[in-house]
């Protein structure tokens, strides 16, 4: 009882703390100076139609690199935690895993390719349309999830995933360094020509970076899903 009261008090306190923020800031009427600067300069600076992408990959690309690192660390952590040995599962296969339904199996066969393609599309067009490397990577991982659901006994090649993850990550860092050496700063996408705003090949190395991120995120999420399945060596 005491505990409930305390929980209530805690939540109420937090609500009270949130109140001035909700009241004091109100609904914004116009973007601030920084946002305006981004909106006005981003296309010119990086040639990206999607201002958000320009911010995510270039201006605040360092955040994104960090974010990739977070995901990477999480994958590593999950992988290290959930091994067969540590989960106490022996070499024997768990006997009675329910078989997937026919519908699932069939749909998976049909959808996998489509999903992967969609994912690739999303990260390739990250600088033009909503979406980007993360979104694309997630879609790709969905394909793998479907595969895992359909064929629970199947095993992903952990080696390949890991290699993709490593290499794309390293390449991302490499792109960052390239920006520093070939352009004006670390993660500066202007190592490639900016191209015409709105075209697929534009915005410097943003599509490349997003592709790398897409691959990496796809691999990482797949890895996480695989690990959560709990039969990693």
Does position 94 bind another protein by CB under 8 A?
Answer: no
What is the closest distance, in whole angstroms, from the C-beta atom of residue 222 to another protein in the complex? Answer: 12
In the set 64, 108, 202, 211, which binds another protein (CB under 8 A)? 64
Evaluated on CA atoms 136, 216, 155, 82, the torsion sign reads negative
Burial class (CB in 10 A: 0-12, 13-18, 19+), 48: buried
Q: Which stretch binds another protein (CB under 8 A): 96-104, 113-121, 148-156, 172-180?
A: 172-180
Q: Which stretch binds another protein (CB under 8 A): 79-87, 93-101, 112-120, 148-156?
A: 79-87
Q: What radius of gyration, in Å, describes the C-alpha atoms of the chain?
A: 22
Does position 62 bind another protein by CB under 8 A?
Answer: yes
State which of positions 2-41 bind another protein (CB under 8 A).
Answer: 3-4, 6-7, 9-18, 20-41
Phi and psi at residue 183, to the nearest 5°: -120, -140
- Judged by CB, which is closer to another protein: 113, or 196? 196
Per the DSSP assignment, residues forming a β-bridge with 232 are: 83
- Judged by CB, which is closer to another protein: 30, or 103? 30
In the set 105, 147, 170, 193, which binds another protein (CB under 8 A)? 170
Does position 227 bind another protein by CB under 8 A?
Answer: yes
- Residue reference for tokens 């955040």: 63
- Judged by CB, which is closer to another protein: 58, or 108? 58
Size of the site for another protein (CB under 8 A): 108
Q: Which stretch binds another protein (CB under 8 A): 55-63, 98-106, 107-115, 144-152?
A: 55-63
What is the closest distance, in whole angstroms, from the C-beta atom of residue 31 to another protein in the complex? Answer: 4
Closest alpha carbon to 45 in 33, 32, 63, 57: 57
Closest alpha carbon to 122 in 179, 53, 170, 59: 53
Both tokens assigned to 99: 């078989």
In the set 1, 43, 142, 199, which binds another protein (CB under 8 A)? 43
**Are 223 and 214 contacting, i.e. CB atoms less than 8 angstroms apart?**
no
Does position 128 bind another protein by CB under 8 A?
Answer: yes
- Residue reference for tokens 């990693």: 232
| Distance between CA atoms of residues 27 and 102, nearest Å | 50
- Judged by CB, which is closer to another protein: 114, or 177? 177
């Amino acid at each position: 009882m005491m505990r409930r009261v305390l929980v209530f008090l805690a939540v109420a306190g937090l609500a009270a703390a949130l109140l001035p923020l909700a009241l004091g800031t109100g609904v914004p009427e116009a973007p601030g100076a920084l946002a305006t600067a981004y909106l006005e300069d981003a296309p010119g600076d990086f040639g990206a139609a999607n201002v958000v992408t320009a911010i995510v990959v270039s201006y605040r690309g360092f955040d994104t690199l960090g974010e990739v690192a977070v995901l990477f660390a999480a994958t590593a952590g999950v992988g290290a935690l959930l091994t067969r040995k540590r989960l106490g599962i022996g070499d024997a296969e768990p006997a009675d895993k329910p078989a997937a339904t026919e519908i699932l199996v069939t749909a998976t066969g049909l959808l996998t390719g489509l999903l992967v393609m969609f994912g690739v599309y999303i990260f390739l067009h990250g600088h033009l349309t909503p979406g980007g490397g993360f979104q694309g990577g997630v879609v790709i991982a969905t394909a793998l999830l479907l595969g895992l659901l359909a064929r629970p006994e199947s095993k992903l090649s952990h080696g390949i995933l890991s290699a993709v993850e490593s290499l794309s990550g390293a390449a991302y860092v490499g792109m960052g360094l390239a920006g520093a050496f070939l352009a004006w700063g670390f993660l500066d996408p202007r190592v490639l020509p900016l191209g015409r705003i709105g075209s697929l090949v534009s915005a410097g190395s943003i599509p490349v970076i997003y592709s790398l991120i897409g691959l990496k995120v796809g691999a990482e999420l797949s890895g996480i899903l695989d690990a959560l399945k709990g039969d990693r060596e």
